[in-house]
Amino acid sequence: MRKLWLFPMIFFILILLAGGLRWAKGPLQNYGDFQVLHTKDRWTGQRWLYFFGGWSELSPPTQPYVLYSGERVPYLPREELEMRREEVLKQPEYERKWLGLQRQISELEVKIGQEPDLQSVPAGEVRTVQQALADANWELNSLYATAEQVLLAEDKEVAKKKELLATGVWGLLLVFTFFWAFHYFLAEVKRWKQVNETYEIVEYVTKNNRYPLGK
């Protein structure tokens, strides 16, 4: 037997094994009762962060703290995240508030820095300015967090589509190579049956001397 089905079957096995080697697992970082697992999809090159647990100390006492169990987000280097976050903040729905908070913070910082002698300023007024600066910084950080959530949500959708596409191509290759091997296997079985049938006919004719070679 020529066993042509072995070649596509080998490809099928290799493609199947590639699925098991798709994900690279990196370190698991612990931050108290919060854990972060680093992974990478070797097929698409996308890196992911998986979250487990939560930070109970950052939650209000009256509310249960948020728990994560395998929630994943795409990983972005800090430099790229900040650069793309700025692109999100330049969108019309965020730009006005973003620029307004930056201007407000700059004015409050200048006001605090220009005080020649804080002792001559009423304590209540100083606290008011400092509180206004703290509130503005908090609002700006909240706006940054919102922009990052929007950015990561968009990236997650794109990454999931790439992941699904890669999985689909992998599945199609598996199906194609399997049926390719199966086709050759059936053809080989059919040919082998024909050979056996021919051999049986020849053997039968020979035994019964239906076609003698000479007189």
Residue-range domain boundaries for the chain: 9-172
Q: What is the pLDDT of residue 188?
A: 80
CA distance 68 to 102: 33
Please compute, for residue 166, the number of CA atoms within 13 A of its CA located in the half-sphere on the CB side: 17
Q: Which residues of the chain have pLDDT under 70?
A: 1-2, 55-66, 114-126, 194-215
d(CA 84, CA 134): 25
Torsion 53-37-39-143 (CA) sign: positive
pTM score of the predicted model? 0.69
Render pLDDT for 11-60 as a digit per residue (tens, 0 to 9).
999 999 999 899 999 888 888 778 889 999 999 999 999 988 876 555 55
Give the three-class secondary structure for 135: helix
Query: How confident is the model at residue 69, as a pLDDT?
Result: 81
CB atoms within 10 A of CB 26: 14
